[in-house]
Amino acid sequence: MTGKVFCYHCRNYHPLEEMTCMESKGRKRWRCRKSLASSRTNQAQRDAFGGRVSELNKANDLRSLPHCVLELFVA
């Protein structure tokens, strides 16, 4: 993972060219520029995106359960 830095916001590693060093709570942290751009959108857009991601997570969560556990949810 040479040349990659951990983004504390999206919790992924990105190339150094895509990162910005920021100060948060008195500490210097790295954050990707994509997450910074997405945080500049208005509240309604962020809430809509969060709602869509939550629905996807709920749908994926049930599908990833073993068959015997899924039967409990269906009954």
Q: Residue 64 — very low, low, confident or very high, per pLDDT cuts 50/70/90?
A: low
Mean pLDDT computed over 55-67: 69
pLDDT of residue 15 exceeding 90: yes
CB atoms within 10 A of CB 13: 14
Reported as type and span, the H/E element at residue 48 is: helix 43-63
Tell me if 30 sits within 8 A of 20, measured CB to CB. Answer: yes
Burial of 7 from C-beta contacts in 10 A (0-12 / 13-18 / 19+):
buried
Separation of alpha carbons 50 and 28, rounded Å: 27
